[in-house]
Amino acid sequence: TGQFPDGTEKTLLEVLSPPEERGIKLLLEENGSRKVLYSYLPAFRQVRTLPPSADKEEFLKSDFWHIDLRPSENLVDYDFRIAGQEGGLYLIEAVSKNPTKTVYFKKNIWVEKKGPAFTEVKIEFYTSEGRAKVQENSGLVEIAPGDWRPTRIVMRNLIKNRQTVIDITEWKISDRIDARKLSRSYLGEF
């Protein structure tokens, strides 16, 4: 992840395993309300821009949808309230102001206080049809003062009764990342 002087934040995800998926890359760019997701599939040797209409499509036949890999949805699209507290966790309820504009109608987000910051531990995603998925984050590591990230993400698809596990081997967040590596042209190299 890199932050740029113009306010753009870019995140690069690269699939290392399983071997048949190795080399797939995603580049997420966010600047204010502008959000773009690029994907590179080695089999096709091309970079494509994923349109917002692809948000509910599965990523690599997994339980993650493309929207789950995008930079966070606009906070202004949701009304938030603290709905409870349980065992050191706070439950935040986020309800869409305009369900036709957002993929998820509602999110229940459990956060844990880590020093001065809060970290997402579990998220329940609801579509207009009801509860669809549950994401659980674990193995939290502090990659920068006050910045905690998971080393394991489990997405349980309640509709298909299956789950996908992502183990993160390394987090790199720096202002000193080679900007070329966080570019659309870099995705297709190698």
For tokens 């690599």, name the residue: 60
Q: Which domain holds residue 54?
A: 2-187
* Total domains in the fold of the chain: 1
Question: Which sign does the torsion angle of CA 53, 190, 184, 25 carry?
Answer: positive
pLDDT band with cut points at 50, 70 and 90 for residue 112: confident
Tens digits of per-residue pLDDT, 37-54?
888 888 888 888 888 777
* pLDDT tens figures, 147-165: 777 888 888 888 888 888 8
Over residues 126-150, the pLDDT tens digits come to 988 877 888 888 777 766 666 777 8
Q: Residue 116 — very low, low, confident or very high, per pLDDT cuts 50/70/90?
A: confident
Contact 156, 163 (CB under 8 A): yes
Positive/negative CA dihedral, 91, 78, 57, 189:
negative
Looking at residue 76, its pLDDT comes to: 80
Q: How far apart are CA 26 and CA 11, in angstroms?
A: 8
What CATH number corresponds to the domain at position 42? 2.50.20.10
* Average pLDDT rounded to a whole number, residues 99-114: 86
CB contact at 8 A, 124 and 92: no
pLDDT band at 86 (very low <50, low <70, confident <90, very high): confident
pLDDT number for residue 96: 92
Q: What is the pLDDT of residue 81?
A: 97
Nearest one of 185, 188, 184 to 46, comparing CA atoms:
188
**172 vs 110, residue with greater confidence:** 110
